[in-house]
Amino acid sequence: MATMRAAVFVEKNRIVLEDKPVPEVGPLDALVRITTTTICGTDVHILRGEYPVAKGLTVGHEPVGVIERLGSQVRGFVEGQRVIAGAITPSGQSYACLCGCGSQDGPDTRHGFRAIGGWKFGNTIDGCQAEYVLVPDALANLCPIPDGLSDEQVLMCPDIMSTGFSGAERGEVNIGDTVAVFALGPIGLCAVAGARLKGATTIIGVDAVAERMSVARQLGATHVVNFKDGNVVEQIMALTDGRGVDVAIEALGTQGTFESALRVLRPGGRLSSLGVYSSDLRIPLDAFAAGLGDYSIVTTLCPGGKERMRRLMAVVQSGGVDLSPLVTHRFKLDDIEAAYELFAHQRDGVMKVAITP
Amino acid sequence: MATMRAAVFVEKNRIVLEDKPVPEVGPLDALVRITTTTICGTDVHILRGEYPVAKGLTVGHEPVGVIERLGSQVRGFVEGQRVIAGAITPSGQSYACLCGCGSQDGPDTRHGFRAIGGWKFGNTIDGCQAEYVLVPDALANLCPIPDGLSDEQVLMCPDIMSTGFSGAERGEVNIGDTVAVFALGPIGLCAVAGARLKGATTIIGVDAVAERMSVARQLGATHVVNFKDGNVVEQIMALTDGRGVDVAIEALGTQGTFESALRVLRPGGRLSSLGVYSSDLRIPLDAFAAGLGDYSIVTTLCPGGKERMRRLMAVVQSGGVDLSPLVTHRFKLDDIEAAYELFAHQRDGVMKVAITP
Amino acid sequence: MATMRAAVFVEKNRIVLEDKPVPEVGPLDALVRITTTTICGTDVHILRGEYPVAKGLTVGHEPVGVIERLGSQVRGFVEGQRVIAGAITPSGQSYACLCGCGSQDGPDTRHGFRAIGGWKFGNTIDGCQAEYVLVPDALANLCPIPDGLSDEQVLMCPDIMSTGFSGAERGEVNIGDTVAVFALGPIGLCAVAGARLKGATTIIGVDAVAERMSVARQLGATHVVNFKDGNVVEQIMALTDGRGVDVAIEALGTQGTFESALRVLRPGGRLSSLGVYSSDLRIPLDAFAAGLGDYSIVTTLCPGGKERMRRLMAVVQSGGVDLSPLVTHRFKLDDIEAAYELFAHQRDGVMKVAITP
Amino acid sequence: MATMRAAVFVEKNRIVLEDKPVPEVGPLDALVRITTTTICGTDVHILRGEYPVAKGLTVGHEPVGVIERLGSQVRGFVEGQRVIAGAITPSGQSYACLCGCGSQDGPDTRHGFRAIGGWKFGNTIDGCQAEYVLVPDALANLCPIPDGLSDEQVLMCPDIMSTGFSGAERGEVNIGDTVAVFALGPIGLCAVAGARLKGATTIIGVDAVAERMSVARQLGATHVVNFKDGNVVEQIMALTDGRGVDVAIEALGTQGTFESALRVLRPGGRLSSLGVYSSDLRIPLDAFAAGLGDYSIVTTLCPGGKERMRRLMAVVQSGGVDLSPLVTHRFKLDDIEAAYELFAHQRDGVMKVAITP
């Protein structure tokens, strides 16, 4: 039986490279040989034991690779084709999926729904920080890479770009909107790009790291606010001449950013939340107009599926958004433990790393 | 100068009937002689000093009456016409209104937005618990009563019905949805009726007052859950076979109902909040799937304007919804202090009172 | 090899009952033993050679039955379970499906799209006027029948009800809307029911057959207009006091009904077209305000998939709509040729027939 | 009584400059001194007698100017302020406006609706090719010009830009969409810009004039198709590898462009029509999939009102779209007849002219 190298969650604070068997391919699956992948902030939560996964699971959910073998029922693709798959891999066939809720896909639970159930790679099945990954429901999830795009150019599509853009989409950004994005990590930066793609004209990024603020400007932020320069809410209200923003995108997952996002909204505005929270949230009565302000709060888990991936790669191909500045470091899969070390501690100005087996 | 009787907020715990001048009619206004009005839960908050209004203000925001005099610029109506106006009276001409946000209409503030700014009657201008009320922006707000409808038949349109229905509308209830409504006061009952009107097939009402539960069934609830019979979340999860509801409507304004509403949602579901809260809200981390459950929380302030009123009266006229069981008590305007006494203490099974000058 | 009886298209004007092998079950399929099915107007087009299908094809696309055998990859169902499937059977996994366009599902053509490609039964694969039918992509398409519902109660769900309701849904009917439905055959009658379910308050049905007009009233029409009583447009404009309707639903497929539907729309209104046309359509310049009237014309092919079927059966179960008056005649499968004879000539007041193997 | 110079429709083929009284200002009006305006294709239709207006009417509907005098009820503005108003001037207060249908605003007809009723300037009231124009419902329609923007920079906002963008908005362009725009006149060019602003990644412009095709590329077209190079439908299907486009925008108003737009749509696609047609339209049966292709056809009249104008000027200010290449010629108001001569005959590569009193 063939074996492969894979980054495996062993226990809290230990993700290590191990040998595992290359997976067997069921009728609905595709085996993809990974050519490039990356590490996500969520993987760091897993590493630290903050997000529980099974011991022995291969982590990673951002696959770029080549089709090695197709399941017997998977038509329309050929072995050797370059493909990506989304971090979220909906089946397309559950009640949740047929409701348009593929990220909450739970074939076997709650009548087709399960919270976060669409996220399988590196969560409920083996992920892609490995030489090979098995893509489930391959018909719905494999997406060919257009000619001319490099692995790194599409590396952000499976998760960061899909998530960030969804912040603007679910926030229903319209032409002429004013948008604030709280925290300019990779997802916040993609939210900035998404807001611009949807026609926002004033886009205010909030962070304190100079490099991130600089990349935000490249991606479309018209203003950046440094939270170390004083009260963020006051700064944004001043920038908008007291009006507030139409859409506030939360991209960190803390009470502070959530609350500031709510406080800068104009009445009737939308708070689009992307962050992964780690404690209860508080909605202050005044910021919420006692429930009478026509506010909306929406949360979104990274949309997946091959149509989503096709669209995101089309954005890259059209030159509409260039996320290459986000890949700041490159590692071999054999050195992934060092990559985790760097990324988890946010050393050396790292934004995203590219991992190549 | 002509005078009239009006219920006036004097100080905390004192709303009294006083003589005031009949208002003068500006070019954009209409003077309406009130024939029937009612008391709202919000008026009780005002009475108790929980919602601050200016001393000397006439309270009340649910006018049914007859046009007494039209401003010079108000065309298309005739004096003597029977009309209603919404509790919320948007100008139709502010930035907020032209954004579709008339309830947050603030002509002179925050560039056209002001939280709750569309609510003027009995809040920022004199209201309609009086012999006469001045309707601002009359062109946008006066709506003729169709022939054949009595005052009491349209008395719920200005507020209760508009608010309750909006709970289902903003919750985006679709054909075949399962909906839970938390608290079956007048607004919750109208939310039940609204959910049915929008095609929900399973509608679960939550309360503990037998009369309200009974009216809920008349208005379309397929199930009622008594919160005194045990954990509401468990009861609803059992009723839905573990799936949860597509839309949960909060119609009370407490942490308990808000939280239960969130806990019974299926992933990707919508919490539509109508209640007026009096303290900060807490979103429990688990009920929120850490921000990854694709949940939406939307709040709505009663939609107003003459088109809204026209549609609601069309619902009454079509026989689609019969809210007459809600009017349980009737008072003369001269006896309004007794009406407040009864209503504020929820005595004698009162749901809504009709007040006639 | 087991054989079964099946209604087969032989040539123009000949659909006959023949023996065919019981289909073999692939990994993604389910074999369903038909207990009840029906004949659709489209089948009559096929019979007459107006809609081309392959010779030898089994016709019929409205299956109610029992799972006989499940493909190896079809989990979550059990043999012996009572189920339906939609007339349209989307895979859930093509680009079209993942765009929310399952009725135009074309796995192998135009990059995942094919016009009408989601309609497979009795069109591109063998249908269900037979003892058995093979359901493709069974995971996405089999839907269990709730306890307590008879075959006839759910017989309209696969096509007529899904199509008719979609007329109101895609017309975006709102609470308080005025809607006109042109032609009160089974689909038009379901459009009436759908408009009511979505909150329309004035629903005007147009036809000339007394029984249909009578059923329309039972299903929610507030007015019926007989096109033999004079100009339909004038009658509807008179009924609406010159305003016109918010939504007009076309349910026949002729220039006359299409054009009348357009002419009764208020500016900014929506024409929701369900009919199958047999010649080019003409949009009169004046009825279209020269392209400046903010009109929308939308067409819809019957939505399918198990979530849709689940919701429609929930409507039946809730008592919200009772379509049993539509089943006017019953035949054994062995007598299906007589059923076609009756149905194709619209004899004896037939609306829908129930066929039982 | 003060007089002013104004371009007046005298009779077919004669628009001449005449002296007229400066209008008197009613309570809801504002008098604006025009500093820059332009000529629209619709004005040419008026000139030729193809679109009927009253003899003696001042034409023009794209005002840029300075507030000269405010009506008694118009608060929140100051005389001397630089402003624009939209070509369409909704009241904000009719049933149509309160339905979100301000372009079809008809206060006195069809219960608040009138087709094209929101277009008043140079159509039903005196327009702005004059020294002064009276803006009706000034509260809803005057919009201050942000500091730093020149007259020419905002000259396209009142009509061309609002109309063109609406083609993309009503077409519901999403991130990753493929869009075709038929005819690259000023409106088509703005539709290209609008499609890009909404996130389209493939934008195909269709025309035959080299300058227009070149400007289209500057504004975001990724491809241009010359209809003189062969069948447009085939060219677009080839460019999209046989898939077709998600949204087709018609910006001319002919059967040919309308029909091509329909033929290049993928099933389930949207045809967004902006053109002013001059004869009946034909929908070919095959291009329409006999009514079963889930196609939508939507038409849009230029959205107006001050919030719309504010947003469009924000787009200009943000640098998101630069329409200055469209102003190819400049004239004094005194020379407007020569401007009409040039523009009507499309001489000298004219796209738009700037007219300054």
Q: Which CATH topology does D3-86+121-156+323-356 take?
A: Quinone Oxidoreductase; Chain A, domain 1 (3.90.180)
Chain C residues whose beta carbon lies within 8 Å of the beta carbon of residue D283 = 280-283
Instruction: Specify the pLDDT at position D320.
Output: 84
Q: Is the Cβ of B194 closer than 8 Å to some Cβ of chain C?
A: yes
Q: Is the Cβ of B256 closer than 8 Å to some Cβ of chain D?
A: no
Q: Which CATH topology does B165-299 take?
A: Rossmann fold (3.40.50)
Q: Is the model's pLDDT at B52 over the cut of 80?
A: yes
Cα–Cα dist C214/D91, whole Å? 43
ipTM: 0.97
Chain A closest CA to D279's CA: distance in Å?
A: 33
**Domain ranges across chain B:** 3-86+121-156+323-356, 165-299
Task: Enumerate neighbours of B (3 or more CB pairs within 8 A).
Answer: A, C, D
Nearest chain D alpha carbon to C176: D99
Tell me whether residues A310 and D199 touch, CB distance under 8 A: no
The model's pLDDT over B212-246, given as tens digits with 9 standing for 90+, comes to: 999 999 999 999 999 999 999 999 999 999 999 99
Tell me whether residues D98 and B305 touch, CB distance under 8 A: yes
Chain B residues whose beta carbon lies within 8 Å of the beta carbon of residue D70 = none
Tell me whether residues C176 and B310 touch, CB distance under 8 A: yes
Q: Which residues of A45-81 are buried (b: 16+ CB within 10 A; e: fewer)?
A: bbbeeebebeeebbbbbbbbbebbbbbebbeebeeeb
The model's pLDDT over B65-83, given as tens digits with 9 standing for 90+, comes to: 999 999 999 999 999 999 9
Tell me whether residues D282 and C282 touch, CB distance under 8 A: yes
Cα–Cα dist B25/B29, whole Å? 6
Helices B186-197 + B162-170 axis angle, to 10 = 50
CB atoms within 10 A of CB B11: 9
Pick C76's closest partner by Cβ from A97, A107, A308. Answer: A107
Mean pLDDT of chain B: 96
CATH, domain C164-299, list 3.40.50.720, 2.40.50.100, 3.40.640.10, 3.40.50.10330: 3.40.50.720
Confidence of residue C309 (pLDDT cuts 50, 70, 90): very high
Chain C residues whose beta carbon lies within 8 Å of the beta carbon of residue B176 = 310-312, 314-315
| B:C CB pairs within 8 Å | 58
Nearest chain B alpha carbon to A286: B280
Tell me whether residues B199 and C315 touch, CB distance under 8 A: yes
Instruction: Say whether D255 sits in a helix, a strand or coil.
Output: helix
Pick D28's closest partner by Cβ from B73, B76, B108. Answer: B73
The model's pLDDT over D119-129, given as tens digits with 9 standing for 90+, comes to: 999 999 999 99
Tell me whether residues B281 and A283 touch, CB distance under 8 A: yes
Chain A closest CA to C98's CA: distance in Å?
A: 6
Interface of A with B in 94-113 (CB under 8 A): 96, 99, 101, 103-104, 106, 110-111, 113
Task: Enumerate neighbours of D (3 or more CB pairs within 8 A).
Answer: A, B, C
Q: Is the Cβ of C11 closer than 8 Å to some Cβ of chain D?
A: no
Tell me whether residues A318 and D202 touch, CB distance under 8 A: yes
Q: Where are the beta strands (DSSP E) in chain D?
A: 3-11, 14-21, 30-36, 64-70, 82-84, 105-106, 112-113, 132-135, 143-144, 178-182, 202-207, 223-226, 245-250, 265-273, 281-283, 296-299, 327-332, 352-356
Instruction: Specify the pLDDT at position A324.
Output: 86
Could you write out the DSSP letters of every residue in C308-348?
Answer: HHHHHHHHHHHTS---GGGEEEEEEGGGHHHHHHHHHTTGG
Q: Is the model's pLDDT at B265 over the cut of 80?
A: yes
The model's pLDDT over B115-124, given as tens digits with 9 standing for 90+, comes to: 999 999 999 9
Q: Is the model's pLDDT at B275 over the cut of 90?
A: yes
CA distances (Å), origin A109, targets A104, A212, B267, D28, D114: 11, 40, 11, 61, 52
| B:D CB pairs within 8 Å | 63
Q: Is the model's pLDDT at C196 over the cut of 80?
A: yes
The model's pLDDT over C5-55, given as tens digits with 9 standing for 90+, comes to: 999 999 999 999 999 999 999 999 999 999 999 999 999 999 999 999 999
Chain C closest CA to A95's CA: distance in Å?
A: 5
Q: Is the Cβ of B307 closer than 8 Å to some Cβ of chain D?
A: yes
Pick D253's closest partner by Cβ from C116, C283, C291. Answer: C291
Tell me whether residues A113 and B243 touch, CB distance under 8 A: yes
Instruction: Specify the pLDDT at position C76.
Output: 93
Confidence of residue D15 (pLDDT cuts 50, 70, 90): very high
Tell me whether residues C297 and D296 touch, CB distance under 8 A: yes
Q: Is the model's pLDDT at B305 over the cut of 90?
A: yes
Which residue, chain included where needed, has tokens 């054009």? C259
Chain B closest CA to A67's CA: distance in Å?
A: 30
Confidence of residue C110 (pLDDT cuts 50, 70, 90): confident
Closest listed residue to residue D128, CA positions, set D176, D68, D173, D195: D68
Pick C292's closest partner by Cβ from D283, D294, D301. Answer: D301
Interface of C with D in 138-157 (CB under 8 A): none
Element (H, E) at A261: helix A255-263
Q: What are the structure tokens assigned to C69, written together?
A: 């055998």
Tell me whether residues B307 and D140 touch, CB distance under 8 A: no
Q: Looking at residues D86-101, what average pLDDT do you find?
A: 96
Mean pLDDT of residues grouped by 10 in chain A (357 residues)? 94 97 98 98 94 96 98 96 98 95 84 92 98 98 97 98 98 98 98 98 97 97 98 97 97 98 98 96 96 98 98 95 93 97 95 97
Select the residue from A70, A88, A93, A113 to test the C interface by mutation, using most C Cβ atoms within 10 A: A93
Q: Looking at residues D255-271, what average pLDDT do you find?
A: 98
Q: Is the model's pLDDT at B309 over the cut of 90?
A: yes
Q: Which residues of B238-252 are buried (b: 16+ CB within 10 A; e: fewer)?
A: ebbeebbbbbbbbbb
φ, ψ dihedrals at A116, nearest 5°: 65, 10
Domains A3-86+121-156+323-356 and A164-299 in one fold = no
pTM beyond 0.90, yes or no: yes
Q: Are strands A352-356 and A327-332 parallel, antiparallel or unpaired?
A: parallel
| Percent of residues, chain B, with pLDDT higher than 70 | 99
Mean pLDDT of chain C: 96
Pick C268's closest partner by Cβ from D96, D273, D280. Answer: D96
The model's pLDDT over D223-247, given as tens digits with 9 standing for 90+, comes to: 999 999 999 999 999 999 999 999 9
Instruction: Specify the pLDDT at position D310.
Output: 97
Select the residue from D119, D294, D302 to test the C interface by mutation, using most C Cβ atoms within 10 A: D294
Tell me whether residues A315 and D222 touch, CB distance under 8 A: no
Chain B residues whose beta carbon lies within 8 Å of the beta carbon of residue A267 = 96, 101, 104, 106, 110, 113-117
Q: Is the model's pLDDT at B357 over the cut of 80?
A: yes
Pick D285's closest partner by Cβ from C277, C285, C291. Answer: C277
Q: Is the Cβ of A86 closer than 8 Å to some Cβ of chain D?
A: no
Closest listed residue to residue C290, CA positions, set A223, D274, A75, D266: D274
Confidence of residue D165 (pLDDT cuts 50, 70, 90): very high
Instruction: Specify the pLDDT at position D162.
Output: 98
Q: Is the model's pLDDT at D109 over the cut of 80?
A: no
Confidence of residue C84 (pLDDT cuts 50, 70, 90): very high
Helices C255-263 + C232-239 axis angle, to 10 = 30
Cα–Cα dist A141/A86, whole Å? 7
Tell me whether residues C201 and B165 touch, CB distance under 8 A: no
